Amino acid sequence: MHHFHYRNGRLYAEDVAIDDIVQAVGSPVYIYSTATLTRHFQVFADSLKEFGGLVCFAVKSNGNTAVIRTLARLGAGADVVSGGELMVARAAGVPAERIIFSGVGKTRAEMELALDEGIHQINVESVPELDLLNEVALARGVKAPVALRVNPDVGAGGHAKITTGKKENKFGIDWTAAPAAYRHACSLPGLDVKGVAVHIGSQIADLQPFEDAFLRVRDLVLMLRADGISLSRIDLGGGLGVPYEDGNDIPPPPEYAAIVRSTLGDLGCSISAEPGRLIAGNAGLLVSEVMFIKEGSTRTFAIVDAAMNDLVRPAMYEAFHGIIPVAEPVPGEATIDYDVVGPVCETGDTFAKQRPLPPLKAGDLIAFKTAGAYGATMSSQYNARPLVPEVLVDGNRFAVVRRRPTFEEMRALEQVPEWLA
Ligand SMILES: *Cc1c(COP(=O)(O)O)cnc(C)c1O
């Protein structure tokens, strides 16, 4: 469900024509839809409402301030994985008491920031991290609200690089070692042990791994309870996928909620979640202009002005992104198989191979679908290419919510040493 549709032959984001945005802002450009963000957040939040927890948007999936503010106004919290993301969430208007800090390697400075801000919860992923957080909290005279992230040893996720819940992954405390870690945590005076967290992976298209993981969480909560350690919070992490391809069947949030209810619903804990991709993925397009059509000896290349540095998912995860022309194709028109590639000097700078598309020519605009999550946030300036601007559409209005930097700005942090001057 999204709000990018053709109208009179032109692709629109809500009530704004994409080519009008490109006219104003240039290409390439990321375009996000407020109505889509809103709908995805609300469907998910409504599904989990009965569990009384937070829905914390995973800022790493889309770190744009205006996007986060849009969600914050709907009641979203934020799941952050660095001090930088914590600052972004606060600047976007997320109240500290709706922020969860995740991640395997928080620095002392990041712990201090989290405690000073007074955030809802810090998810701790190892025993040494428990010890450091305890020390930092004691030095500040506060108690840190913590959950332990456990690793349930469940395989899930759309690609090996985004599977996080197997025991060979770096994440979480092995679930078999968790009871001892909890006993240790409860002995530390600087910690207030609130709950348990899991996050088993990303782009998960099937409910079974969630059920397996949640059942292990259930066992752990009951085992700890029998041991005199009673937890009041469960954090499910994120991970529910989005359809990147037509026909990709992803279970809808109410079905996910049913699994939560059957596995954890009777424990009397508040249950929070940290969705990222699910909220932002289909709410964004990356729009790019065709620069050249190049006839190779065996392939036809569409060379476009976006590249792997702007949207790295195809290069990094062999990910599929739907590609549609901004001018609506003539129905029934024969397609041509294109390799859609960017200008970066790497073979990996390939968005799609042998993709059937309507005939393209230089100057045509195309849109990469489902680019709202792990798109702009993962972009870099590789090849000294400026970061792509981001635009937020709301009904019939749009605004640039991050502009394209100038070359001076891109170079502003660099300095030639005196001996080279
Ligand atoms: C990445 C991440 C998320 C969000 O994952 P999605 O697949 O985008 O929903 C949530 N929680 C943690 C701890 C993460 O690392």
Q: Reply yes or no on whether the pLDDT at 156 is more than 80.
A: no
The reply, when asked if residue 358 is annotated as ligand binding, is: no
Final residue in a domain of this structure, among 255, 273, 291 = 273
- C-beta of 237 in contact with ligand 1 (< 6 A): yes
- For a mutational test of ligand 1's pocket, the pick from 37, 60, 100, i.e. the residue with the most ligand atoms closer than 8 A to its C-beta, is 60
Q: How confident is the model at residue 75 (pLDDT cuts 50, 70, 90)?
A: very high
The reply to whether ligand 1 has any atom less than 6 angstroms from the CB of 239 is yes
pLDDT at 155: 76
Give this prediction's pTM: 0.96
> In whole numbers, what is the pLDDT of the chain averaged over residues?
96
pLDDT of residue 308: 98
Q: How many CA atoms lie within 13 A of 235 on its CB side?
A: 35
Q: Is it the case that residue 175 has pLDDT exceeding 90? A: no
**β strands within 342-421, DSSP E:** 350-357, 365-368, 390-394, 397-402
Q: Which atom of ligand 1 is nearest to the CA of 60?
A: 1
Q: What is the pLDDT of residue 158?
A: 65
Residue 163's pLDDT is 73
Whether 158 and 234 share a structural domain: yes
pLDDT for the residue numbered 1: 75
Q: pLDDT digit string (tens) for 80-93?
A: 999 999 999 999 99
pLDDT at 157 over 90: no
pLDDT at 12 over 90: yes
User: Is 247 inside any structural domain?
Assistant: yes
Protein residue with least CA distance to atom 10, ligand 1: 238
Residue 78 lies in a domain: no
Does 330 map to a domain? yes
Q: Is the CB of 263 under 6 A from ligand 1?
A: no
State yes or no: pLDDT of 166 exceeds 70: yes
Q: Residue 394 has what pLDDT?
A: 98
Q: What is the CATH number of the domain that holds 241?
A: 3.20.20.10
Of 33-37, 43-47, 188-192, 328-332, the range with the lowest mean pLDDT is 328-332
To test the ligand 1 pocket, which listed residue (125, 202, 210, 374) has its Cβ within 8 A of the most ligand atoms?
202
Is 92 inside a domain boundary?
Answer: no
Note down the domain range covering 248: 103-273
Look at residue 247 and tell me whether its pLDDT is greater than 80. no
Contact 280, 36 (CB under 8 A): no
CATH number, domain of 353, equals: 2.40.37.10
Q: Which long-range contacts (CB under 8 A, 24 or more apart) does 204-208 make?
A: 204/156, 204/157, 204/158, 204/239, 204/240, 204/241, 205/158, 205/241, 205/248, 205/249, 205/250, 205/251, 206/156, 206/251, 207/251, 207/255, 207/256, 207/259
Co-location of 181 and 207 in the same domain: yes
Percent of the chain with pLDDT over 90: 91
Question: In the structure encoding, which two tokens stand for residue 5, read together?
Answer: 């549709």
Pocket of ligand 1 contains residue 275 by CB under 6 Å? yes
Q: Is the pLDDT of residue 164 over 90?
A: no
| Range in 74-83, 244-253, 335-344 the model is least confident about | 244-253
- Domain for residue 47, yes or no? no
User: Stretch 171-200: mean pLDDT, rounded?
Assistant: 95
121 plus 244 within the same structural domain: yes
Q: What is the pLDDT of residue 212?
A: 95
Residues in the chain: 421
Residue 29 to residue 112: CA distance in whole angstroms: 37
CB 304 within 8 A of CB 385: no
Please indicate, yes or no, whether residues 251 and 292 belong to a single structural domain of this protein.
no
Q: Total structural domains in the chain?
A: 2
Mean per-residue pLDDT, 373-400 = 98
- From 199, 204, 317, 377, give the residue whose CB has the most ligand 1 atoms within 8 Å, as the site to mutate: 199
Angle, vertex CA 58, rays to CA 69 and CA 116, nearest 5: 75
| Domain closes at, from 273, 304, 320 | 273
Would you state the structure tokens that stand for residue 404, as one six-digit string?
Answer: 């394209």
Residue 251 and residue 373 in one domain: no
Cβ–ligand 1 distance for 253 under 6 Å, the answer no
Rounded mean pLDDT, 184-211: 96
Q: How many angstroms separate the alpha carbon of residue 237 from the centre of ligand 1?
A: 6
User: Quick one: 259 and 286 in the same domain?
Assistant: no
Identify whether 221 is part of a domain.
Answer: yes
The confidence score (pLDDT) of residue 294 equals 97
Residues 208 and 72: their CA atoms lie apart, in Å, by: 30
Quick check: is 346 in a domain?
yes
The residue whose CA is least distant from atom 11 of ligand 1 is: 237
Question: Among 243, 273, 303, where does a domain finish?
Answer: 273
